[in-house]
Amino acid sequence: MILPTAIAVGLVLLALAVLFAAIRLLRGPTAQDRLVALDSIYVSCMLILLLLGIRFGHHLYFEVALLIALLGFAGSVAMAKFLLRGEVIE
């Protein structure tokens, strides 16, 4: 009884987090603000998938969340390096 309610509340709160991060992504005054908003979006989407995996009890959601985490981290490192040095590959 408590778990479905907690999952529903978590999904709503994470959806709000994605919405607010998307607003910051579009309106951010600097590129660093936009990068942090993009990181927040991919982490929130990963957590949404994990909650859906718990809700539906299917292992595929967990694998997709792991892929999002790996690609999001690599993308964040590449973007941070680009913002610092102006190039990704040395």
Domain boundaries, the chain: 2-85
> Which pLDDT value is given to residue 88?
63
Please count the CA atoms within 13 angstroms of the CA of 58 that sit on its side-chain side.
7
Residue ranges in the chain whose pLDDT is less than 50: none
Residue 39, pLDDT score: 93
- What local confidence, expressed as pLDDT, does residue 37 receive? 94
* Predicted local confidence at residue 32, as pLDDT: 87
Q: What is the pLDDT of residue 54?
A: 95
2-85 is classed in which CATH architecture? Orthogonal Bundle (1.10)
Calpha distance 76→90 (Å, rounded) = 17
pTM of the model: 0.86
Amino acid at 40: S
